[in-house]
Amino acid sequence: EDDVRAFCQGQIAHYKIPRYIRFVDELPMTVTGKVQKFVMRERMIEELKLDVQKTA
């Protein structure tokens, strides 16, 4: 995780550096082969016990 953050610091703006980094064996996919980002988001919210903030 620290190596990824260190690499990002030299490559992208500071506000784009990810706060949380998790390595997984495989990504949730749809039947057409696309990554299910909403499933990843839900899993990380549960795993990290984050507070979900909704906008109006």
Query: How is the chain split into domains, by residue range?
Result: 25-51
pTM greater than the 0.75 cutoff: no
pLDDT tens digits for range 1-56: 899 999 999 899 999 999 999 999 999 999 999 999 999 999 998 998 888 777 76
* pLDDT reported for residue 10: 86
Instruction: Please name every residue paired with 29 in a beta bridge, in sequence order, or none if there are none.
Output: 35
Buried b (16+ CB within 10 A) or exposed e, 41-50: eeeeeeeeee
Contact status, residue 44 vs residue 20, Cβ threshold 8 Å: yes
* pLDDT reported for residue 33: 95
